[in-house]
Chains A and B, each alone.
Chain A
Amino acid sequence: MTTTLTPTTGATDKEPGRLRRPKAARAGGTLHAGPLAYAVLVLFSIGSLFPLVWTAIAASRDNNRLAETPPPFWFGSNLAHNLNVAWNDANLGKAFVNTTFVAGVSAGTIVFLSTIAGFAFAKLRFKGRNAMMLIVIGTMMVPPQLSIIPLYMMVAKLDWTDQLQAVILPSLVSAFGVFFMRQYLMQALPDEIIEAARVDGASSWRVVWHVVFPAARPAMAVLGMLMFVQTWNDFLWPFLVLTQNGNPTVQVAVSALGRGYTPDQSLIMAGALLGTLPLLLVFAIFGKQIVGGIMQGAVKG
């Protein structure tokens, strides 16, 4: 179970064996990286991190210092003040509570529904299974922009504008989640365990509860994190339904900071920093698992 979930360690496990192969055969995954490879990687890492670090630098300056040449390269002393003002201006406290709630409910529901559906597709036999799975994969191809207009009409009719359920409801379903859990359970859950539970007289629900959920827990955690990140960063739909800025998600609140005629850039950067920080923290802590999860979802994709 664990080996399938951590391809990164899985790859290193194989290395001693690979090393013994003849030198000519070592290309493609076994050759030691040269200095050039490290140089490229370091360069890309700087490129990846620089905008993030610079957000923090800009957020720690005052607005005038940003309008000078050369631009600031090191931290100033205004960070606490800017964070404080941005927090209050953008209604970020409420936005954080809202976004955490939205992302938590969405991620939780997606994980639960994807696990039971993925289990059915992976392990149960029923009529129309293959056709249904094809439909699930097909739905991944439908762009969300096609549905926003009727969804907006629905929300308007229900008088849900500016309310969180308008954001949550359309994000409760994820074809990727079903696909991801199916791939995981096909290999992580031996048929014998399910049969054994059946022989003991367990109903399908008991099998799900006592066999599938424990077996799927690592994949559920990864899927949960991926979906949390995705919902947290969702922009288009919340931007359309949460129009009044009285009840924003973090992305809507941060985007609203850039408006106005003479925007204070360091304040905007402080807001952007606050909006990004929670997820960067999640990445700092669970980065390895998230990387593993994305790679695992990719191999069989």
Chain B
Amino acid sequence: MATRHDTAAPLAKEGGAAPARPEVVRTTDERRRARMSRRWQRDMRWSPYAFVSPFFLLFVAFGLFPLIYTGWASLHTVELTAPTDMKWAGLHNYTRIFDDDFFWNAAKNTLTMGIISTVPQLAMAMGLAHILNYKLRASTFFRVVMLAPYATSIAAASLVFVLLFGRDYGMINWALHFVGGGHIDWQNDKWPSQIAVSSIVVWRWTGYNALIYLAAMQAVPQDLYESAALDGANRWQQFFHVTLPQLRPTILFTCVVSTIGASQLFGEPLMFDANKGASGGAEHQFQTLGLYLYEQGWVNQHLGRASAIAWTMFLILIVIGIVNYVISRRLRESS
């Protein structure tokens, strides 16, 4: 029984005693092989889908479905106290928020704070990346130090900046006092407070973006610089005519990411408020759309209205994305 019949199979066929036996062995073997190969094929065919499906299942459950449901909810009257009780309202939520001065105030604040946080942040990141791209001593040290703010949380960073920007005893007014400034009410005046909140964003993200630019700079082919140098380009010209054009996709990428981040600004202005409310300061001077959404949904308990704000933000982002795309297309064609 224990002998390997498959090797002896041809012989066994000639003997009359047990003709069927090797046959059986061979067919189970074949069947096994066929089964294996079928399983193999099935494996080859379907396992890629098995590997990517958890991502898509989770994305549908926690990304796509909520996205669509938010749109649906924005057409209803929904209260936070009874989120399942939805009454059809048509476009009422949208007309309601568009008539709301606080919405436009929040939209304007989001735009201005987006500009004063994103533009200096990316410009400084570019400068830093350029410097880090030189041959440097302790370059790893500088990179890690510059990334340290990224490790701090919004909550902790905002609390520290509230103190630093304090009107009476804050470090920044104290330092400004020596150059003849000072006594700026960083929390209550419109522009100072917006600058202060934006500075938290700038502080946390400049180093991170610098690293992204640095990585892109290191991927620029060296011979481009060589030929530029042969053409007599100085260092500034090389930066403007070689580095920047080569970095265009990366710059665009960081612009898009920063724009999305800026449009969602929430934790920093929430924590910066002296009253820790969602109004963005006593006179809504730094209320962002994110805060306004939170105020409508969780303070005033109108989830339907909050959904309409969320979808409006989404539509604005799509428009920005299309504009971005068109501009980059134009730039590519013109060069």
Contacts and interface: CB of A to CB of B under 8 A. Distances in A.
Interface of A: 7-8, 11, 15, 18, 21-22, 24-33, 37-38, 40-41, 44-45, 47-49, 51-52, 54-55, 58, 66-71, 113-114, 116-117, 119-121, 124-126, 129, 132, 135-136, 139, 141-153, 156-157, 169-170, 172-173, 175, 178, 203-205, 208, 229, 232-233, 235-236, 239-240, 250-252, 254-255, 257-259, 265, 268-269, 271-273, 275-276, 279-280, 282-283, 287-288, 290-291, 294-296, 298-299, 301
A204 B59 contact: no
A173 B59 contact: yes
Contacts of B206: 44
A296 to B, nearest CB: 7
Contacts of A252: 155
B211 A28 contact: no
Contacts of B310: 145-146, 148-149
SS class of chain A's interface: helix, strand, loop or mixed? helix
Contact of B147 (A15, A236, A291): A291
Contacts of A291: 140, 143-144, 147, 211
Interface string B46-80: 01111110111011001101110110010000000
A124 B311 contact: no
Contacts of A295: 211-212, 214-215, 218
B66 A51 contact: no
Contact of B63 (A38, A54, A142): A142
Interface of B: 39-40, 43-45, 47-52, 54-56, 58-59, 62-63, 65-67, 69-70, 73, 83-84, 124, 127-128, 131-136, 139-140, 142-157, 159-164, 168-171, 174, 203, 206-208, 211-212, 214-220, 222, 225-226, 229-230, 235, 238-239, 242-243, 250, 253, 256, 260, 263-264, 266-267, 270-271, 276, 290, 293-294, 297-298, 303, 306-307, 310-311, 313-314, 317, 321
A146 B67 contact: yes
A169 B58 CA distance: 9
Contact of B135 (A31, A117, A125, A205): A31
A117 B52 CA distance: 4
Given A51-B203, A117-B55, A298 B212 contact: yes
Contacts of A204: 43-44, 47-48, 50-51
A45 B73 contact: no
Given A145-B310, A173-B62, A298-B250, A27 B170 contact: no
Q: Which 4 A-B pairs have the closest CB atoms?
A: A147-B66, A287-B144, A204-B47, A295-B215
Given A287-B144, A288-B140, A294-B147, 8 more contacts: A7-B215, A11-B218, A21-B226, A22-B226, A28-B238, A146-B311, A173-B63, A240-B298
B271 to A, nearest CB: 6
Contacts of A269: 159-160, 163
B314 A146 contact: yes
Contacts of B220: 28-29
Nearest to A252: B155
Contacts of A8: 139-140, 143
A157 B153 contact: no
A28 B237 CA distance: 11
Contacts of B243: 28
A58 B83 contact: no
Contacts of B170: 71
B178 to A, nearest CB: 10
B132 to A, nearest CB: 8
B47 A298 contact: no
Nearest to A273: B156
B225 to A, nearest CB: 5
A151 B212 contact: no
Contacts of A301: 212, 250, 253
Given A44-B128, A156-B83, A280 B133 contact: no
Given A24-B230, A291-B147, A178 B55 contact: yes
Contacts of A144: 264
A125, A203, A229, A257 — most chain B CB neighbours (10 Å): A203
SS class of chain B's interface: helix, strand, loop or mixed? helix
B39, B161, B298 — most chain A CB neighbours (10 Å): B298
19 contacts: A28-B243, A33-B136, A48-B148, A55-B156, A113-B54, A141-B321, A142-B63, A145-B290, A149-B69, A149-B73, A156-B83, A204-B48, A240-B294, A255-B155, A265-B163, A272-B159, A283-B148, A287-B143, A298-B215
A119 B51 contact: yes
A51 B161 contact: yes
Contact of B66 (A49, A146, A259, A280): A146
A254 B211 contact: no
A31 to B, nearest CB: 5
B83 A152 contact: yes
Given A143-B264, A172-B58, A276-B152, A33 B226 contact: no
B211 A298 contact: yes
B148 A52 contact: yes
B212 A294 contact: yes
A30 B168 CA distance: 47
Contacts of A67: 168-169
Contacts of A22: 226, 229
A124 B83 CA distance: 44
Contacts of A258: 159, 162, 271, 276
A70 B161 CA distance: 17
Contact of A25 (B226, B256, B264): B226
Contact of B84 (A27, A113, A153, A251): A153
A68 B70 CA distance: 49
